[in-house]
Amino acid sequence: MSRQVDIVVPASEQQGTSHVVANWLVQPGEKVQADAPLVDLETDKVMVEVAAPASGILKTVCKQPGDTVEPGTLLGRIECDGESTLTTTPAAQATPDPAPNTPARQIERALLSPAVRRLVKQHRIDLGQISGSGKRGRVTKQDVLAYLQQSAEGEKARPLAGLQEQDRPTPVATASSTHIPHDNMRRKIAQRMSDSLLHTAPHVTSIFEADLSAIMQHRKRHRESFREQGVSLTLTAYFVSAAARALQWEPKVNSRFHADSLELFSEINIGIGTALEGQGLIVPVIQQAQKRNLLGIAAELQRLTESARTGRLSPADLQGGTFTISNHGVSGSLVATPIIINQPQSAILGVGKIEKRAVVRELEGDDVIAVRPMAYITLTIDHRALDAYQANRFLGRFVEVLEQWNSGQEDND
């Protein structure tokens, strides 16, 4: 006896989260296997892969690519036979073979992982130009990266045939320009940035300067020992650690403004602005940074950064942030102001490009000119929640921690 099982949008830990149906990996009438990838949902930050709740036949598709859905929305139904059980297949089980009558291009599409689909969409690649090295000829992420590396014209590769129109931006040519339609991520970023700056929080920015000699020397001494533990010791890890200490020193910066109160957070969850190579910006979060030493921060930062750039971030990796850092200096920017506050937080820290500059220092009572690695540090605040007093106290402590990094703050501190 057969029965039908509902496929629904999974509940989100973040209230108000909406999704857009990006692509069905299986077509109606095809076999599905419990826990195998079934449909991709795109939020403004990540791609969420919904797994099949049971084994059987995809009977009904209720939502099409481009439709906006909320947690709990019915996406479709699976028809199961009497022996099928719900979500009992191990999550690591391979995606089932597509039905024999599935068109070849649909089979190609169904076997693509989210990371591969992201690269294909970003670089407009003709999948037919790549020989898959995975099981059943599946094109892997490594195959795509190798193709891009070998092709001098990789960025001009042709669009992937067989994609739904809404899956890729279609340039619209005019006499002297080209319009590239915004994807869901870019539309959400535009909306949130405008709301934060123009409709929510009055932005004010303070600027300090930091001598990074101490952390540069510390990194030089300990980079190899971190590498032996499989961890890359980046300068951003120092900025996260110093920010956590400064937030403990001035806790009002780690807050959220309400009409009748200022909510102070006991946990320090620091988001790191991460660019996705022209696709937008997301902010993965290092949870409870105040409890992590430098090694722990560097390891978590490495995991989040790699996951962000390969499309493997989970919704949980992006939630719960109480403070944000924008290390915009990695792309050459000296000062960026105002950096738009990541609502509903009260402040965002900016770290500019590190460059050697001549500065005046006192040596044995005399002023001398020294060459030091310097960077401009900014803090943009929600002036409803904070004043210059709290902003400057935070920045002063942040710079002090960086400039006085010493033997008491070695690789385990």
Give me the phi and psi of 227, to 5 degrees please.
Answer: -60, -35
Last residue of a domain, one of 133, 167, 201: 167
- The pLDDT assigned to 118 comes to 66
pLDDT band at residue 146 under the 50/70/90 scheme? confident
Task: Quote the pLDDT of residue 84.
Answer: 52
- pLDDT the model gives residue 226: 97
How far is residue 179 CA from its own chain's centroid? 26
Tokens 């190579």 belong to residue = 277
Greatest extent of the chain over all pairs of C-alpha atoms, in Å:
92
Same structural domain for residues 357 and 283? yes
Write the pLDDT tens digit of every residue in 50-68: 888 889 999 999 999 888 8
**Same domain (yes/no): 211, 144:** no
pLDDT category at 248 given cuts 50, 70, 90 is: very high
What does each C-alpha distance from 46 to 71, 185, 281, 324 come to in angstroms?
15, 8, 10, 18
What CATH number should be reported for the domain holding residue 233? 3.30.559.10
* 172 domain residue, yes or no: no
Task: Classify 191 as helix, strand or coil.
Answer: helix
Both 323 and 357 in one domain: the answer is yes
Distances (CA, A) of 57 to 2, 32, 78, 99: 10, 6, 5, 10
Looking at residue 144, which CATH number applies to its domain?
2.40.50.100
- 161 with 342: CB under 8 angstroms? no
Question: Which listed residue (67, 97, 222, 383) is catalytic?
Answer: 383
Could you give the CA distance from residue 289 to residue 268 in angstroms, rounded to a whole number? 6
Tokens 């296997």, residue located = 33
Burial of residue 169, with CB atoms counted within 10 A of its CB: 0-12 exposed, 13-18 middle, 19 or more buried: middle
Beta bridge partners of 58: 78
Residue 356: its pLDDT value, please? Answer: 96
Choose the weakest-confidence range: 261-265, 315-319, 378-382.
315-319
pLDDT band at 129 (very low <50, low <70, confident <90, very high): confident
Spatial distance between the Cα atoms of 206 and 379, rounded to a whole number of angstroms: 5
pLDDT tens track for 31-42: 998 888 888 887
Residue 179 lies in a domain: no
β-strands 323-326, 347-351 pairing = parallel
CB 1 within 8 A of CB 70: no
For residue 344, whether the previous peptide bond is cis, meaning omega lies within 30 degrees of 0, is yes
Residues 335-348: what's their mean pLDDT?
93
- Does 188 score more than 70 pLDDT? yes
Residue at 84 is within a domain: yes
Q: Is 367 an annotated catalytic residue? A: no
Per-residue pLDDT, averaged over 297-312, amounts to 91
Token couple for 386? 């904070």
Number of domains into which the chain is organized: 2
Measure Cα distances from 155 to 148, 159, 166, 280, 397 in Å.
8, 11, 20, 17, 44
Domain termination residue (choose one: 116, 139, 167): 167
359, part of any domain: yes
**163 and 191 in one domain?**
no
The catalytic residue among 126, 195, 387, 413 is: 387
Q: Which residue has the higher pLDDT, 289 or 193?
A: 289
**Residue 67 catalytic?**
no
Whole-angstrom Cα distance, residue 180 to residue 220? 44
Domain that residue 136 falls in: 3-167
In a domain, residue 176? The reply is no
- Cα gap 27→38, rounded to integer Å: 9
Angstrom distance (rounded) from CA 204 to CA 192: 18
Q: What is the DSSP string of 329-385?
A: GGGT-S---SPPP-TT-SEEEEE---EEEEEEEEETTEEEEEEEEEEEEEEEEETTT
What residues contact residue 11 under an 8 Å CB cut-off, 6+ apart?
A: 71, 72
193 — pLDDT class (breaks 50, 70, 90): confident
Tell me: do 237 and 141 sit in the same domain: no
Across residues 372-376, what is the average pLDDT?
97
Tokens 């109160």, residue? 261
Pairwise CA distance, residues 399 & 406, whole Å: 14
Cα separation, 204 vs 378, in Å, equals 10
